[in-house]
Chain A
């Protein structure tokens, strides 16, 4: 890339160069004046030391060219003003000639060294600056989970740190429409894949270092984009795998568990139709009632299957609000009274039980599933307890059953979908409850009830 200066830049740059030489001139005139005043009291070696010091300082502050000029001017000044005969470039004493030659060599060398030290410091600073920008960029890009976030981090660095007038990302490969050193189009490319084009416009053309930094930023962004793309691909393929496993399980469930209620409905309905008047009234009523209960059963099963597939596909949207767990427990208890006609549940909540953010319908479903499970193993003469409590940063709902407990080998499979726990019951309730609770960033686990039985503990975070 050729560097093309605008007129404005020329003036500014020229001014800086001019100021440099004015500084050199003033320093040398000052020091020469001082030496001239003191020339009878000091020796040539003294002056030489002072001049070398000045040359060194100039080298450190202003660089090689200024230092070299200063060394040469110093040489001339000493020769002209400070060696006899004064005001000529003739040197009378041959010892002075040696001193002068040594002076010019030492001045030139120290000027070189000083200037190099200066250059190295500057380079180190520049590198540190670049490192810092890159560090910040990669830091914010590592947290990015989508392309937009990476685009945003990149354009932000362009605007804030590189002072770009304009910076945006085109999501495809593109070329600039006109050639202009202040407008740059950089491909965001990792291996063979192009993720877009970074378009930046600056007020002035960039230096080599700035260009290098720009390219590094673009390369980092491309790598971040690639990482996100790969992670997304992995997630999708994992979902496909899960969905596939689920599909097999659903098919198995359809063939076993869904067919049962359908068979019952079908036989009841055909009995009603074909036998009709030949049946007694009570029998007809019983058949009709069976159709209704089995339809409800089927409805619940299908609802569970739908919830499960939604949970596993990550497609569950929460309708989260501040809700009362006590209300959920009340609903579940009332439903169980309505189906069993008996007081099977004892509810205990502390008076200061806080509201928690959750989806009412889903948590109701989860608790119903836990209750169904607990009730199935509850002895007929005892009651299930539902206890609410606050435990540090979470609220817990404990469903306490007093049955026989679960065999250790069953326990670890209990939360897996379609696990038949020996009693032939389709195992969907607990995995769905677990899925729902985890979708709320909570957790579900089993504990032993003191004195026998299983306690299911549902915990939801308080601060979400």
Chain B
């Protein structure tokens, strides 16, 4: 990072230029007179929305779905992943099933969850769990299997039990894997919470976005998309920051 002192100015310059291009394109350029709002009116709308309690309620509902779903998924996936990782038989037995569900995007099962839960917070939470639990379990299992076999043998020679092996050899080996899994899961949780609202009708920003678009409130539509971008950026930054603090023993 040789250009570190230049980083913030570069970011500012590019953000301002991007906004200028947007503004020019929508006032004089090819997008003038279309349904695409100008940058200034969108930012004004965004500013207005910041003072409305509904906006903050929606943000909170979206975060709630993502957070509850994430916590439930972690509580299931990490123990399951450890158990699967401990036995080669269990690992191979579950691999195909988990890989299958891992690659099925939650949007596919939204029609079914609408039937079961209706457009509720629970639906969003369920979709978030479904979206991340399989990948996180597989990731944990890989990590547990990655423990140094010599270390495990040594511990066995010294008569340390399974529990101690897991605690002192397997979990430390797995933690970088789990950390990557968690970083991906947090972003996925936020995205799925928005999708649950947009496509499934669950409360929150996704639902607001759908309403704004179908009611033809174009500036609100764009303003919500901006909020989503800012929120996504903030969440991913926060996770990186927390991970640097918590898992300090792995580089990068």
Does A pair with B? no
Residues of chain A touching chain B, judged by Cβ–Cβ distance below 8 Å, are: none
Residues of chain B touching chain A, judged by Cβ–Cβ distance below 8 Å, are: none
